[in-house]
Amino acid sequence: MDSQPQVMPVLNPIIHIHDTLMECRGCSLRVRANLGRSKILEYEGVVTEAHEQLFVIEVRRKRGSVERKSYQYVDVLTGNVILMRGERNEPLFSLPFEPLV
């Protein structure tokens, strides 16, 4: 068994994250955000926008209210935000990202 994490070779990981989230607009994702000081948020939301520097996830709350959360692609790159999809909660991105040589 290989205990080394699988490395995802990409030329520019930020562009890869952006492009993947552009494809996922309208899709439901599970989000796990590490806010520091042992504060971790977990929720399910829909990717509504993917801009040059950040992406927006819309979360439906009780009583029909909608909350919008935005994160930078660097948060995904560093592992502070983990995006999962599917019933098995498989991660959308595998870490660590490494550049192509």
* Residue 2, in any domain of the structure: no
Q: pLDDT per residue over 6-50, tens digit each?
A: 555 667 889 989 999 999 999 999 999 998 899 999 999 999 999
Specify the pTM: 0.80
Structure tokens belonging to residue 88:
């098995």
Structural domain includes residue 80: yes
Structural domain contains residue 67:
yes
Q: Provide the pLDDT for residue 95.
A: 74
pLDDT score of 65:
92
Alpha helices, H only, the chain: 13-23, 73-78
Whether 93 is covered by a domain: the verdict is no
- Is residue 98 domain-resident? no
In terms of Cα–Cα distance, which of 3, 20, 36 is closest to 77? 20
pLDDT band at 61 (very low <50, low <70, confident <90, very high): confident
Return the higher-pLDDT residue of 34 and 101: 34
Tell me, yes or no, whether 97 lies in a domain. Answer: no
**30: in domain:** yes
Q: What total of structural domains would you count in the chain? A: 1
Q: The CATH number of the domain where 61 resides is what?
A: 2.30.30.100
Instruction: Measure the CA angle with vertex 1, ends 76 and 30; round to 5°.
Output: 25
Domain that holds residue 36: 8-88
pLDDT of residue 98: 65
**Cα 81 to Cα 73: distance, rounded to the nearest angstrom:** 9
